[in-house]
Amino acid sequence: MDVTTLPFNRFLGLEKGASSSGLLVSLPPLPQYTNHLGTVHASALLAVAEAGSAEFLLRHFGDIAEYVPVVRRLEVKFRKSARGRVSARASIEGDALNRLSGDLRTKGRALIRVSAEVIDEGGMVVLSGVVESFIPEPGPPPNFGRLLLVTSPTSATGTGWERTSWYAVQRAAWEALLLTLP
């Protein structure tokens, strides 16, 4: 999988970093990434950090290809204003990849915390944080085939309440995600 080809990342224009540079992904210096102050928007920096953590997992633990990590928590500190190209680098503590591998083997699922930094063109750290990802068992979630009906306060029939298929939306999202995987 290439994180830069995911629909949102492709929409943003994320670029893959050269493996020799230690930079995982970057955003080019374009005006659409700026905020009202003329610096890189906080949301753009968060997207670079999150994609960098995913790219780190792919580069250092390639055999999780059948697993799909899902961001569970993102904790960051904005350190400086950023201008121009911003790039991500990432790391993990000690033997986290070994624990991840063991948890996937024994439990079929795992949590992992990836430290991420976003740097500007001058190499200054503009954001630092931790991306915690949950890696569930491969395949559709349990009870995926069941249809869960919930009521909605919106009404297409004029009754005020109608039965809607929440799980059908979840199934469609899962199928769309599976189409993006290699």
Closest by CA position to 147, among listed 135, 134, 159, 164? 164
As a whole number of angstroms, the distance between CA 15 and CA 87 comes to 9
The reply to whether 23 and 104 lie within a common domain is: yes
For residues 108-128, average pLDDT: 93
Q: Which one, of 44, 40, 126, 123, lies nearest residue 83 by Cα?
A: 40
Claim to verify: residue 123 and residue 178 sit in the same structural domain: no
The predicted pLDDT at position 119 comes to 96
Q: Is the pLDDT of residue 128 over 80?
A: yes
Domain enclosing residue 164, as ranges: 139-182
pLDDT at residue 161 tops 60: no
* Domain match, 64 and 133 both: yes
Residues 94 and 12 in one domain: yes
111 closest CA partner among 128, 125, 96 = 96
- Residue-wise pLDDT for 21-58, tens only, equals 889 999 999 999 999 999 999 999 999 999 999 999 88
Is the pTM higher than 0.85? The answer reads no
Same domain, 169 and 89: no
CA distance 88 to 115: 10
Task: Please check whether residues 95 and 131 belong to one and the same domain.
Answer: yes
Q: What is the pLDDT of residues 71-98, one digit of tens each?
A: 999 999 999 999 999 999 999 988 888 8
> Measured between alpha carbons, how far is 79 from 70 in angstroms, rounded to an integer?
26
Tokens of 48: 């670079």
For residue 110, pLDDT beyond 90: no
Residue with more model confidence, 64 or 1: 1
Close Cβ partners of 126 (under 8 Å, ≥ 6 residues apart)? 40, 45, 78, 79, 80, 81, 82, 86, 118, 119, 120
